[in-house]
Amino acid sequence: MTSNSSHPTSSSKILDGKKVASDIRSEVSLKVEQLKKEDKRAPNLAIIIVGDDGASHTYVNGKIKACKAVGFDYTLMHFASTISEDKLLKHVDQLNDDEDIDGFIVQLPLPEHISVEKVTERIKPEKDVDGFTNQNFGSIVSKNPLILPATPFGVMEILRRYDIPLEGKHCVVVGSSRLVGAPLSMMLLEEGRATVTVCNKYTTDLASHTKEADILIVAVGKPNLITKDMVKPGVVIVDVGTTRVEDSSSKTGFKLSGDVDYEAVSEISSYITPVPGGVGPMTIASLLLNTMRAYEQQHLNG
């Protein structure tokens, strides 16, 4: 796969998440068209959003736009930040029981008075298209994973579509969060058959680990944490971090920065994801794949 990059100074090949996400949307669109030819309904994704957090609404709008692009139906439920936990759980139960809803997500963050874990665990695993429930999380280490967490799934899909071998490679994951680092390390072990080292904020001498990586995946949200002297030549870099950094030269007053010093590290890496345009678009593309899979499991495979 070739890529047109906005970073012409780089000697690395770009892992173009935008391009891969576009390919996935095209593939999903074809499946939806085929369903309609067979007089079947399109998959329906429901989205719950609580409150008026600006970033959350931006993310949700991106998900709605993606649904429209591939021909999915979507259901948006917006509640005030004052909604009680019990009321929100009742709405989750309604979506669980609604046969016309194939999958749904509850956009995070939630107000402090609502337990994220309680809400997440209330979602039926077969409709949990974010892949956050304990059952879906645990299924990663089974021979039959159910629905995979969207961002790690996106990372694996980029590596697969660029034919980057994982088996026997040393993958170093910096960041061990429940959303990205932990599930991704399990997927690299199970699906990729890689040798995996996981680093976190308690790791001493981080560079001693990152220098050993054949494939380095960073997901901590600290701009430019990984510098050129911390990696070996030829390393494959996947940068999951996205942080707003002040930038007076930008119209918005900020720019998006990854966890890796892109300009310097790309001089010696073999492949690298840009920020933006790398892993970000893949998260929504993975959500579409998960929704299609949920639809197929509930309506076509039984």
Indicate whether 274 pLDDT > 80. yes
Tokens representing residue 33 in the block:
């068209």
Q: Which residue among 124, 139, 170 closes a domain? A: 124
Indicate whether 302 pLDDT > 80. no
**Sequence-ordered list of residues with C-beta below 8 angstroms from that of 148, at least 6 positions apart, any chain:** 131, 136, 140, 156, 183, 187, 286, 290
pLDDT band, residue 10 (cuts 50/70/90): low
Please report, rounded to a whole number, the percentage of residues in the chain having pLDDT higher than 70: 96
pLDDT, the chain, mean: 94
**Distance (Å, rounded) from C-alpha 276 to C-alpha 299?**
36
Same domain? 198 vs 81: no
Please report, rounded to a whole number, the percentage of residues in the chain having pLDDT higher than 90: 87
Q: Is 65 one of the catalytic residues?
A: no
Same domain? 264 vs 177: yes
Same domain? 46 vs 81: yes
Per residue in 99-140, pLDDT (tens digit) is 999 999 999 999 999 999 999 999 999 999 999 999 999 999
Overall domain count for the chain: 2
Omega prior to 111 cis, within 30 of 0: no
Q: Which residue among 89, 124, 159 closes a domain? A: 124
Per residue in 78-102, pLDDT (tens digit) is 999 999 999 999 999 999 999 999 9
Same domain? 162 vs 263: yes
Q: How many CA atoms lie within 13 A of 135 on its CB side?
A: 12
Same domain? 160 vs 266: yes
Same domain? 56 vs 173: no
Same domain? 208 vs 106: no
The number of angstroms, rounded, from the C-alpha of 14 to the middle of its chain's C-alpha atoms is 18
Q: Within a domain: residue 252?
A: yes
Q: Are 70 and 29 in contact (CB under 8 A)?
A: yes
- If you search the block for the tokens 């909604």, which residue do you land on? 83
**What DSSP element (H or E) covers 292?**
helix 279-295
| DSSP reduced 3-state for 245 | strand
Indicate whether 290 pLDDT > 70. yes
Q: Within a domain: residue 3?
A: no
Q: What is the pTM of this model?
A: 0.91
Q: Within a domain: residue 167?
A: yes
Same domain? 160 vs 270: yes
Q: Within a domain: residue 187?
A: yes
Tokens representing residue 18 in the block:
């935008």
**What DSSP element (H or E) covers 107?**
none
**Distance (Å, rounded) from C-alpha 287 to C-alpha 136?**
14
Indicate whether 2 pLDDT > 80. no
Same domain? 106 vs 186: no
Which entry of 130, 239, 259, 261 is annotated as an active-site residue?
Answer: 130
- Region 17-35: mean pLDDT is 97
**CA torsion, ordered 155, 139, 293, 238, to nearest 10 deg:** 0
Q: From residue 53, how far is each of 30, 151, 257 by CA, in Å?
A: 34, 21, 21
Same domain? 72 vs 120: yes
**Distance (Å, rounded) from C-alpha 53 to C-alpha 39?**
39
Q: Within a domain: residue 13?
A: no
Q: What is the pLDDT of residue 205?
A: 97
Q: Is 107 one of the catalytic residues?
A: yes
Q: Within a domain: residue 30?
A: no
Indicate whether 6 pLDDT > 50. no
Q: Is 147 exposed, middle or buried (0-12, 13-18, 19+ CB in 10 A)?
A: buried
**Sequence-ordered list of residues with C-beta below 8 angstroms from that of 65, at least 6 positions apart, any chain:** none
Percent helix, strand, coil in the chain, to 5, is 40, 15, 40
Same domain? 188 vs 268: yes
Q: Within a domain: residue 52?
A: yes
Q: Within a domain: residue 101?
A: yes
Tokens representing residue 75 in the block:
């259901």
With b for 16 or more beta-carbon neighbours within 10 A and e for fewer, the 30-45 pattern comes to ebbeebeeeeeebbbb
Same domain? 118 vs 163: no
Q: Which residue among 124, 158, 184 closes a domain? A: 124
Which entry of 18, 19, 31, 63 is annotated as an active-site residue?
Answer: 63
Q: What is the pLDDT of residue 9?
A: 46
Q: Is 127 one of the catalytic residues?
A: no
pLDDT band, residue 5 (cuts 50/70/90): very low
Per residue in 203-246, pLDDT (tens digit) is 999 999 999 999 999 999 999 999 999 999 999 999 999 888 88
Which entry of 107, 214, 259, 261 is annotated as an active-site residue?
Answer: 107
- Region 163-169: mean pLDDT is 98
Q: What is the CATH number of the domain that holds 239?
A: 3.40.50.720
- For 94, the domain range is 39-124
| Least confident segment among 26-30, 230-234, 250-254 | 250-254
Q: What is the CATH number of the domain that holds 117?
A: 3.40.50.10860
